[in-house]
Structure 1
Amino acid sequence: MKLAELQQIYNSTNDLEIRNNLLERMATLKQTLHDEDNKIKKLKRHAGYQRKCRAKKIKHLQEHQEVIQYDSPGRPSFLIQYPNLHEHIHECIEFGAADKKRRKEVIKVRTIRHLRENLNSKYNEYLSRTTLNNYLLPSRSNTKAAKTHHHPALVANASVSRTEKNEHIDEHYCLASVKGAKQFAALFSTHSVIISQDDKAKVPLGIPAVGRTFQTIQSFQEPVTLPDHDFPVGMQQKLIPSVYLLINPSDTNDTFRNGQLSIFVHPQYHVGTSSSTHMSDLNSLIQDSQFDGILKINGQIKPIWILLVDGGPDENPRHMKNIFQYCKMFCNFDLDYLSVRTHAPGQSAYNPVERSMSTLSQKLAGITLPIDKFGSHLNSQGQVTDLELAMKNFRYAGEALCTLWKRDPIFGKPVIAQYTDQKNSPFDDILFPGSENINESAVPWQWIENHTKICQYSLDIKKCEDSSCCSPKRHEEAAVLLAENDGFLPPVTKGKDGHFLNPLHILEYCDKLKIPGNDAHCPSINADTYERLCCSECDAYFPTLSM
């Protein structure tokens, strides 16, 4: 029924129900007519565009007198525009000429970014990253994504071979230990901080700083290899990046793997890394106002710290030299509780900072840091002859490395990197009660016995109740909870079902008399070994007999 007829019926009736029904039908019909009118206008406009496009193509063909017939559906392949694309891809990644002095080996592997740049600069062939990837062999040929790889060259994306994580009998035990410390920090998130700490692989100077975790491109017929020699230019001519991931438990998810990244680059020759350099780095983080939002609350250092380390000799919480440094840092920062946790040997990849370090390694692909910017400081035997010149060259290379890493954010936050070549021990002036008769660098054993709990893979430090020894606790709620177990987090405990228990649940619900001893449930320590590690007089547990 037409709109005019509906309008005529509407005018001739006085029934309100019929009139309302007619109004609804007329409104619907008007909207339909309006939509159809817009569709017609759109089709006419599209037809006009097509006419103009055809006219433009006809004009272009008449001017250039060139016609290319393409019968298949979809966009024409780039092989029509670049018929030698496959050959050019192979030429970009195959071996080149050997170095004339035979002093180095040309690395043939490259990333997709390098391949794009070479194709564009050498052959004037521009392809986007996704398009170029579609002209390489897929990583798996039996997937749906493999269908997008059109006419691929015999070149594939491959990862440089890496050593798989070694299994360890204590891996689940250590994971439970680290998880328990994180749960404790999450419970008091506003007053705690988690710092994941590790030293990245040394970055050599004067030779390619090739990472081991980035995707590379090379000919499909050749195995993925790297040179087995790099002709080092001298002893200890490398940079050591110490990486710290600062995690704020109050503004992250349950994974605790995202945070603010800070990097301290040390020269290996005259500084290196040790527990003292790590303490100096942590002290620098405290003094840097950029980290106040993570490390401080109300202008004071947060009272609860969780350190996740890789278990190396400069960070291992079992070594006495490191324990001394952690105790001094604990007193200097006036912490209420410090827990240092490590993963099992060979399992450091679980450390949250490793995820960030893989991104840093990728940025080093194809990079060579200069070793003689201001002149050579080495003789023919690779020995340093000019220390002042060496420090200038190291500083230039270190600052260049920091600039490279600071370009792009990680986890949506800027990377803060700085070069430091000063050797200092910020906590040497810390004095402990009873330290007059011992070495200045040591901590009295009586203090360690009253304030620390040393285990195979962890170190916990607390404040005591003696006001002449320790200042008052700054977070009473955490102190009340820990008082259930003499001020410490309970040891890693295995339940009847074979699973490790939540330490917070142990403090709140379990019978305190049934809490096992330290490392009592560690799989690598059997009953006989555990008995040998316990003191025969006081039954105190020590993770090593050397203590």
Structure 2
Amino acid sequence: MKLKKTFYGGQVFVGVKETAFQSSFPWRHATEMSKILKNSFLENGMINPILIFYTDGGPDHRLTYVSVQMSLIYLFLIFDLDLICVARTPPQNSWKNPAERIMSILNLGFQSVGLMREKTEHYEKQLDSVNSLREIRKLAEKYPTVEEEVLDSVEPVRILLSNVITRLKWKDKNLKVFDPATEGEIFDFRREILKIDQDIKVTDSTQQDIKKRKLFMSLLNDHCKIAQYIFSVKKCGKTSCHVCKKPRLSNEMFESLYHLLDPEPLNCDKYKSFDQLYGKPTSENYRPSLTGKPSSEPGLPFSPSSQYAKNVEMVVLCSDCDKPRVLYSKKVVRGVRRTQLVNCLTDIQYTCGFSFDELDLEEETHV
């Protein structure tokens, strides 16, 4: 077997989803990944014992989030992996992810493609009156058939885009389209995490939640490496372990298998090589965001005050510490800009210190 010297190859899979009811979040990603692996890469009923991911830095891939960790741990268990290792790009650096290069091919395929959904049968007037994804979901809570009709209305668009995608190629292989995971599939997938700890609830998603789950906490401590940009789960190799099975790799190979290391500087210009650090204990002490000198300037480009808080009149909940945080703005946020902000908050998990500076909020126009 000829070894390839690049990670950037193989089969490309693309998902086409409706935003309101098929939004991106960790458990959906993990469910869809498990389906792709089962349907496409199983050999003799098993995939290779080591699985490696590299993702962008979005909130649905934030490796310090419990929901992300849980979804990855279950992939580790369901496929009986010896090691699963996931790394993510730093903020605003998703362009460094090699998989992002496929976007140039997709953009070429989508040139001059016009899209228009069909009208729903019963709820078009109600949908015209809503201004955010959150309001669409609330409408679906009031009228249960809204979700089905919305998905049916965009199905022709999904089929059109899927046909375009499957005609595109990467390295002589046609791209493939996978179906979005259903709510039932996601629920069944999440429920399997109970096999680790019966005390875990399907709704557990914060650090405060899992601190009470002793068995799950022991799994994190004994099998996982958790860092800002790296998360990995490795079998312990102990026969008495109630979590993982016997390693599938040979004893010699498994003994030489370690969690992914953290970079450490060799001098002021270079980092130590992989061979110099592999198998040795490393830490995040040299992460640039930790070693940088603290700024004497305030975190905001202006001094926060009650007036600037009144410009937004909104509080968000931190997904890490579960505490409410006040939003400040130098200008009044109303109309179109407020709708865009609400939509943004619907689609992200806010963490303390996050700045909305880079959001492209439209300025209001007055006639």
TM-score range, shorter chain: 0.5 to 0.7
Deviation string 1:53-109 (CA, Å, 9 cap, x unpaired) is: xxxxxxxxxxxxxxxxxxxxxxxxxxxxxxxxxxxxxxxxxxxxxxxxxxxxxxxxx
Q: Deviations over 1:27-50 (max 9, x none)?
A: xxxxxxxxxxxxxxxxxxxxxxxx
Contact 1:398 1:419 (8 Å CA) reproduced: no
**1:473 lines up with 2:235 in the alignment:** no
TM-score normalised by structure 2 residue count: 0.65
Partner residue, 1:279: 30
Residue 199 (structure 2) aligns with:
437
Aligned match of 2:288: 523
Instruction: Give the Cα separation in 2 of the matches to 1:286 and 1:363.
Output: 26
Partner SS, residue 59 of structure 2: coil
Corresponding residue number in structure 1 for 2:95:
349
Give the SS at the match of 2:16: strand
Partner secondary structure for residue 358 of structure 1: helix
| Helix, strand or coil at the partner of 1:266 | coil
Q: CA deviation at 1:432?
A: 4.6
User: Equivalent residue of 2:52, what SS?
Assistant: strand
* Residue matched to 1:391: 151
Contact 2:65 2:320 in 1 (8 A): no
- Partner of 1:502 in structure 2? 273
Counterpart selection for 1:265 from 9, 16, 22: 16
Q: Output aligned runs, 1:191-340, within 5 Å.
A: 252-254=4-6, 256-288=7-39, 291-292=40-41, 296-340=42-86
Distance 1:473 1:504, change over 3 A: farther
Say which of 116, 121, 133 aligns to 1:370.
Answer: 116
Counterpart contact for 2:168–2:174, Cα < 8 Å: yes
Distance apart, 1:364 and its partner CA: 1.5
1:330-384 Cα shifts (integer Å, max 9, x gaps): 1111111111101111110011111102211222222122211676852142567
- Contact 1:399–1:419 (Cα < 8 Å) also in 2: no
CA separation in 1, counterparts of 2:164 and 2:35? 21
Task: Supply the distance in 2 between the matched residues of 1:404 and 1:299 (Cα, whole angstroms).
Answer: 32
Preserved CA contact (<8 Å) 2:85 2:259: no
Report the Cα distance in structure 1 between the residues aligned to 2:12 and 2:164, rounded to whole angstroms. Answer: 14
Q: 1:375 to 1:407 in 2, by over 3 A?
A: farther
Go from structure 1 to structure 2 and tell me whether the alpha carbon gap of 1:464 and 1:253 turns closer, same or farther (over 3 Å shift).
closer
Cα shift readout 1:369-412 (whole Å, capped 9, x = no counterpart) = 22116768521425678623322122221121101111121221
Q: What does 1:40-79 correspond to in 2, within 5 Å?
A: none
Distance of 1:428 and 1:303 partners within structure 2: 24
Whole-Å separation in 1 of the counterparts to 2:150 and 2:201: 34
Q: Is the 8 A contact 2:118 2:153 kept in 1?
A: yes
Equivalents in 2 of 1:407, 1:251: separation in Å?
Answer: 28
Structure 1's unaligned 5+ residue stretches are 1-189, 191-249, 530-543
Partner residue, 2:226: 454
CA distance in structure 2 between the aligned counterparts of 1:362 and 1:390, rounded to whole angstroms = 28
Cα gap change, 1:527 to 1:271, in 2 (>3 Å): closer
Larger relative contact order (Cα-Cα within 8 Å, sequence gap ≥ 6): 2
Question: 1-side partners of 2:113 and 2:263: how far apart?
Answer: 44
Is 2:226–2:232's contact at 8 Å kept on the other side of the alignment? yes
Code of the aligned partner of 1:479: F
Quick one: which amino acid aligns to residue 422 of structure 1? T
Would you say the 8 A contact 2:36–2:178 is kept in 1? no
CA-CA distance at 1:522 after TM superposition = 0.8
- CA gap of 1:479–1:441, structure 2 versus 1, over 3 A, is farther
Report if aligned partners of 1:395, 1:419 keep a CA contact under 8 Å in 2: no
Distance 1:507 1:401 in 2: 44
Q: What code does the residue aligned with 2:12 have?
A: L
Equivalent pair of 1:310/1:342 in contact (CA under 8 Å): yes
For the Cα contact (< 8 Å) 2:194–2:201, is it kept in 1? no
Counterpart in the other structure of 2:163: 403
> Aligned-pair distance for 1:545?
8.6
Q: C-alpha offsets along residues 219-257 of structure 1, whole Å, 9 cap, x if unaligned?
A: xxxxxxxxxxxxxxxxxxxxxxxxxxxxxxx65344x32
> How much has 1:326 moved relative to structure 2?
0.9
1:360 maps to which of 90, 97, 106: 106
- How far does residue 430 in structure 1 lie from its aligned partner after superposition? 3.2
2: CA distance between counterparts of 1:358 and 1:262? 15
Show the counterpart of 2:264: 493
Q: Distance in 1 between matches of 2:293 and 2:100?
A: 36
Q: Give structure 2 stretches of 5+ with no counterpart.
A: 131-135, 205-209, 211-215, 295-318, 323-367
Match of 1:175 in 2: none
Deviation at 1:528, TM superposition (A): 9.7
Shift of 1:504: 3.5
Query: CA 1:450 to 1:361, structure 2 compared with 1: closer, same or farther past 3 Å?
Result: same
SS in 2 for 1:439: coil
Counterpart residue type for residue 227 of structure 2: C
In 2, Cα distance between the equivalents of 1:409 and 1:348? Answer: 22
Q: CA deviation at 1:323?
A: 0.8
Structure 1: distance between partners of 2:190 and 2:51? 17
Residue identity opposite 1:412 in structure 2? D
In structure 1, what is the equivalent of residue 314 of structure 2? none
SS for the counterpart of 1:305 is strand
- Post-superposition Cα deviations, 1:168-209, rounded to whole Å, max 9, x if no partner, equal xxxxxxxxxxxxxxxxxxxxxx8xxxxxxxxxxxxxxxxxxx
- RMSD between aligned alpha carbons? 2.9
User: How far apart, CA to CA, are the structure 2 residues paired with 1:404 and 1:522?
Assistant: 42
Distance (Å, rounded) in 2 between the aligned partners of 1:369 and 1:528: 49
Distance 2:119 2:157 in 1: 8
Query: For the pair shown, which has the larger CA radius of gyration, 1 or 2?
Result: 1
Amino acid at match of 1:351: N
- Measured in 2, the distance between the counterparts of 1:436 and 1:260 equals 37
For 2:20 and 2:237, the matched residues in 1 are separated by: 45
Partners of 2:190 and 2:202 within 8 A in 1: no
Work out the CA distance in 1 between the residues paired with 2:181 and 2:224: 32
